[in-house]
């Protein structure tokens, strides 16, 4: 049975897209039945081109990716979510969305904050570097997530394991 993961950020244009791409890419490479989705509480309607460029350079297929609302995951027919990850930067006073929707059992939740690479200094080169470093950091955590026995952990154990990954 597929484990569905929803990755949230406010605008669903950069960090959540990087996380969706990396988790899907790594799960496919490792033969794991995990499917990532991303969404935003106030989607921008566009994907940051630097995010797409960083994913493309890593060999991630982003065809069909789009900026979308988290409302899509609260409707009938939405995939049953096992996990919701927020990736906004609460340390920078960024408002992180709190997801309450979905059908079935409530998903496990964890916050893994990343500074917004869109705000990096140094013009285009600085932003490209920030997006690549963010992609790498997210990829490292996604590898750790995929190493967990997701199908056998109950919600409290999963949340504890994910919180530990967040501290790494």
pLDDT of residue 168: 83
Of all residues in the chain, the percent with pLDDT exceeding 90 is 80
Distances (CA, A) of 34 to 39, 83, 128: 17, 11, 28
Provide the token pair at 30.
Answer: 């490792």
In the annotation, is 96 catalytic?
Answer: yes
Question: Which among 82, 87, 88, 130 is annotated as catalytic?
Answer: 88
pTM over 0.95? The answer is no
Q: How far apart are CA 158 and CA 148, in angstroms?
A: 8
List, in order of start, the domains of the chain with CATH numbers: 3-159 (3.40.50.2300)
The answer to whether the beta carbons of residues 43 and 68 sit under 8 Å apart is: yes
The more confidently predicted of residues 75 and 99 is 75
pLDDT digits (tens, 9 = 90+) for 98-146: 555 555 678 999 999 999 999 999 999 999 999 999 999 999 999 999 9
Question: Which among 96, 137, 148, 153 is annotated as catalytic?
Answer: 96
Provide the token pair at 163.
Answer: 């919180």
In the annotation, is 88 catalytic?
Answer: yes
The answer to whether the beta carbons of residues 19 and 110 sit under 8 Å apart is: no
């Amino acid at each position: 049975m597929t484990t569905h993961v929803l990755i949230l950020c406010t605008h669903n244009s950069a960090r959540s897209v990087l996380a969706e791409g990396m988790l899907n890419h790594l799960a496919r490479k490792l033969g794991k039945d995990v499917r990532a989705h991303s969404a935003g509480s106030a989607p921008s309607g566009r994907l940051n081109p630097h995010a797409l460029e960083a994913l493309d350079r890593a060999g991630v297929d982003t065809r069909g990716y789009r900026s979308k609302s988290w409302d899509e995951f609260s409707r009938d027919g939405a995939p049953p979510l096992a996990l919701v990850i927020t990736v906004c930067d609460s340390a920078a006073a960024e408002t992180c969305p709190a997801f309450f929707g979905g059908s079935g059992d409530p998903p496990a939740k964890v916050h893994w904050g990343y500074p917004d690479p869109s705000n990096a200094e140094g013009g285009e080169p600085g932003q490209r570097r920030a997006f690549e470093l963010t992609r790498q950091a997210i990829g490292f955590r996604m590898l750790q997530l995929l190493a967990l026995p997701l199908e056998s952990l109950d919600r409290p154990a999963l949340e504890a394991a994910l919180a530990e990954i967040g501290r790494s």
